[in-house]
Amino acid sequence: MIQKIQGIVWLVCAAFVLILALSFFSRGTSIEASAPLVTVEMIKEKQSEIQAAAQHRQQEAAARRRAEMEERVRVCTADEQCIIVDRDPCGCFKGPEGVMAINSAMSLEFSQLVQAETSGSTVCPEVGSSEKECSSSARPVCQQNKCTIVY
């Protein structure tokens, strides 16, 4: 008899747990989840940002390569190695920044660098500069193992 009572108690407890579980999982309120709305415009905007960042990185890398090349072409050990060349197709017509001193052995590499960076149509000023680097007294020398222009 005690076993029958225990069985009934266990049965009632199991039924109670089952009823509680069913009532818990069958609530009338749903679980809400939200996700951000992504539009085609947002995707295009993000793609353009990524492209702009990639172009910026490419421009920085090109500027770094140019600076490294300019340093390499300026290396020297004697004044006789240095020559004055046009950094820009306009040369002294652009002003002092239009020329620079380089090692004559690196003139081919330097001309390739200049040619790669200049466009086909360059409009130069009509009057050349007579400032420092473009004056008649300007000459290339090797100072601290770099070709420079002195006046």
| Percentage of the chain exceeding pLDDT 70 | 89
Q: Print the domain residue range for 89.
A: 58-151
Instruction: Confirm whether 137 is domain-assigned.
Output: yes
**Distances in Å between the alpha carbon of 107 and those of 62, 97, 98?**
20, 18, 16
Instruction: Confirm whether 131 is domain-assigned.
Output: yes
Collapsed DSSP state (helix, strand, coil) of residue 49:
helix
Considering the entire predicted model, what is its pTM? Answer: 0.58
| Percentage of the chain exceeding pLDDT 90 | 36
pLDDT category at 27 given cuts 50, 70, 90 is: low
What is the DSSP-derived secondary structure letter of residue 129?
Answer: -
Instruction: Confirm whether 63 is domain-assigned.
Output: yes
Number of domains in the chain: 1
